[in-house]
């Protein structure tokens, strides 16, 4: 199996996300989440990191268009620019509505189902957003990254403490640095991480 490490870290991220959602205060779902999303939409958007894995496992790509997780984020910069911000916001809102009357129960059911689906495969070539072909082993770290970052967004919005598991943090932080390098921003990232220079305002390696 070539998938052991990405699969294990993704499972850790997914289970920590479910545990975080269980801790959310009652009545928080209509409260502000992130940007134009309320908490329900933010949790819904984050749950798409599980839903897309399940969905894409049902697809088969004919070629490998995207070789690595950093390459995926570079490709998504152009895709997001074409799709428009409002479309991304609306997908999050719809995902929030799809969680139904009991979002906690929906997430608790979703996580083990997706992990079981992963257990049934090796490392297929799947078709991801934009019709791009990508190995599952390369795609999963992008979902770990999203679960980590948005998990912290959720906790901040709810006013609760949350730290992703160490394996998840290590994967997400390393991927953020690799994305920065891929985008030509590696020197800025390295200098900031070593305390030599502050990052510019609004700096981000993702859209």
The verdict on residue 50 lying in a domain is yes
User: In whole angstroms, what is the distance from residue 184 CA to residue 182 CA?
Assistant: 5
3-state secondary structure of 174: helix
Confidence of residue 120 (pLDDT cuts 50, 70, 90): very high
The verdict on residue 198 lying in a domain is no
The verdict on residue 202 lying in a domain is no
90-103 average pLDDT score: 96
The verdict on residue 168 lying in a domain is yes
The verdict on residue 142 lying in a domain is yes
- pLDDT over threshold 90, residue 130: no
CB-based contacts of 85, cutoff 8 Å, min separation 6: none
The verdict on residue 85 lying in a domain is yes
- pLDDT over threshold 90, residue 96: yes
Q: State the CATH number of the domain containing residue 108.
A: 1.20.120
CB half-sphere exposure, 54, CA atoms < 13 A: 14
Confidence of residue 3 (pLDDT cuts 50, 70, 90): very low
- Of 72, 76, 60, which Cα lies nearest the Cα of 6? 72
% of the chain at pLDDT higher than 90: 88
Q: Structural domain tally of the chain?
A: 1
The verdict on residue 123 lying in a domain is yes
The verdict on residue 200 lying in a domain is no
3-state secondary structure of 12: helix
Residue 75 belongs to what domain range? 4-193
- Of 201, 153, 149, 203, which Cα lies nearest the Cα of 175? 149
User: In whole angstroms, what is the distance from residue 10 CA to residue 198 CA?
Assistant: 31
The CA radius of gyration of the chain, in Å to the nearest whole number, is 17
Q: C-alpha 11: how far from its chain's center?
A: 12
Tokens representing 30 are 């209509």
Confidence of residue 108 (pLDDT cuts 50, 70, 90): very high
């Amino acid at each position: 199996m070539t998938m052991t490490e990405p699969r294990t870290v993704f499972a850790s991220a997914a289970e920590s996300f479910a545990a975080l959602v269980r801790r959310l205060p009652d009545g928080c779902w209509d409260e502000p989440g992130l940007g134009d999303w309320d908490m329900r939409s933010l949790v819904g958007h984050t749950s798409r990191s599980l839903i897309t894995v399940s969905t894409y496992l049902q697809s088969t790509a004919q070629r490998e268009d995207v070789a690595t997780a950093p390459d995926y984020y570079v490709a998504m910069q152009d895709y997001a620019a074409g799709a428009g911000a409002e479309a991304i916001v609306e997908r999050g809102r719809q995902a929030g509505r799809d969680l139904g009357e009991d979002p906690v129960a929906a997430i608790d059911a979703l996580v083990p189902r997706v992990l079981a689906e992963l257990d049934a495969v090796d490392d297929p070539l799947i078709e991801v957003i934009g019709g791009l072909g990508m190995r599952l082993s390369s795609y999963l770290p992008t979902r770990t990254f999203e679960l980590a970052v948005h998990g912290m967004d959720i906790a901040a919005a709810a006013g609760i403490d949350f730290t992703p598991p160490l394996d998840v943090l290590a994967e997400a932080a390393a991927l953020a640095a690799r994305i920065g390098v891929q985008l030509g921003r590696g020197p800025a990232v390295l200098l900031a991480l070593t305390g030599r220079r502050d990052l510019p305002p609004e700096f981000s390696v993702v859209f």
